[in-house]
Amino acid sequence: MTLSQFHPYLSKEAYLEAEKSSLNKHEYIQGQIYAMSGASDAHVTITTTPFPPEDYR
């Protein structure tokens, strides 16, 4: 037997409020919430490092 799981739709406001205190990040797509996979250490370093303007023009 398969158990069905009901996942209620959330408003954008409810999603944003819940995401503030969430340890894991999620995507919001048409009222449904999906867990996002973790980023690699290299990705985190690249996305949090400010670009020196003279090096990337």
Please answer whether residues 19 and 11 qualify as being in contact, where contact means their C-beta atoms are separated by less than 8 angstroms: no
Beta bridge partners of 28: 33
- The tokens describing 52, both together, are 């020196």
Domain ranges of the chain: 12-55
Task: List the beta bridge partners of residue 27.
Answer: 34
- Report residue 25 as tokens: 């990040």
Say which residue the tokens 């048409």 belong to. Answer: 30
pLDDT beyond 60 at 3: no
Please give the DSSP secondary-structure letter assigned to residue 29: E
pLDDT above 70 (res 19): yes
Average pLDDT rounded to a whole number, residues 29-52: 76
Per residue in 32-41, pLDDT (tens digit) is 888 887 777 7
Stated pTM of the model: 0.51
Report the distance separating Cα 57 and Cα 20, nearest Å.
Answer: 35
